[in-house]
Structure formats: structure tokens, C-alpha cells
Amino acid sequence: MTERSMKPTVGQSVIAVDTAEEIGSVKHFVVSQDASQVLRLHIDGRKKNAVFAEWDTLESFGADRVMVVHSEDPSGSDDDRDLAQAKGKFELLGSRVLDTAGFEHGKVEDASFDSDTGTILAIITSEGNRIEKAAVHSLGSYAVVVDA
């Protein structure tokens, strides 16, 4: 397992292994509704429409680059949640953090994930708290819900 931070990965170049072509840069992490898994990356800069790289097409995460296997792997999506995330409506980073009792705990400042599997390991709040994945329930357009 290799734990990585989301925040510094946003903006990194995305490079295709097969052509050494720069495809664009990481714009968003597309996260599952239960906030347990990174499903794909939203890549900025390749086409006018939103382009996504599925998790299984990612080769590796370097110090300043993300590598995809093939230059043709990133593609568009018709999925409503993908398109909403491309517009920032379901963005994990910056989301409000609410507990199951309704109390707010700042915003998601960062999140850590396993770069081998895409599993979200924890979220870090603007209040400096690390909330492990077992305590995270869901990600919606309004907030991330965590245990009270």
C-alpha cells in the first residue's frame, strides 16, 4: 500500500506511457457516493468536454506526474454523477463535513488514498482532524457525512 494525498495531486500532469504524450492535468478525483473509493480522475486540457481516466487505466502516481497506460484510455462519460463531479458539484476536497448528529466539522482540506487500489483511507478536515474511512458514510452535493 502506498498512501498518497489528494490535494497535491490535483494539477499534476497526466502522461501516457505508450506515447509519452501529456494528456492534460488532474482536475478532480471522481469518488464513489459512499466516499470509499476513487473511481476515476477528471483530466483537464485534452478536449472541450470532460475527459476521465478510469482507475484501472492508471499506471502510477509519481512525485509530480500521473501515468496512464495508453494515450487513448481517457475518454468522455455520459454518467450524470461524473458530469456533476466535473462541474465540482460532488467534489470531495472542499466539501463541508457534517456528522450524523448534524454538527459541522469544517471542510475537507485533504484526503489520503491508496495509490495502488484507489481506496480512500481518510479525510483531513480544515479543523485538523483526520477521519478514518470507517467513519465516513457518504459524499453528496451538500456535504460529506461522518460518524458523530
- Residue holding cell 500521473? 66
Instruction: Check if the beta carbon of residue 100 is closer than 8 Å to that of residue 146.
Output: yes
pLDDT digits (tens, 9 = 90+) for 70-118: 988 888 877 777 777 777 677 899 999 999 999 999 999 999 999 999 9
pLDDT digits (tens, 9 = 90+) for 35-67: 999 999 999 865 567 789 999 999 999 999 999
Let me know if 92 is exposed, middle or buried by CB neighbors in 10 A (0-12, 13-18, 19+).
Answer: buried
Q: Nearest CA to 68 among 115, 15, 26, 25?
A: 15
pLDDT for the residue numbered 47:
59
* Residue 122: band (very low, low, confident or very high) from pLDDT cuts 50, 70, 90: very high
Q: Taking the CA of residue 143 as centre, how many other CA atoms within 13 Å lie in the half-sphere pointing to its CB?
A: 16
Other CB atoms within 10 Å distance of the CB of residue 59: 15
pLDDT for the residue numbered 21:
93
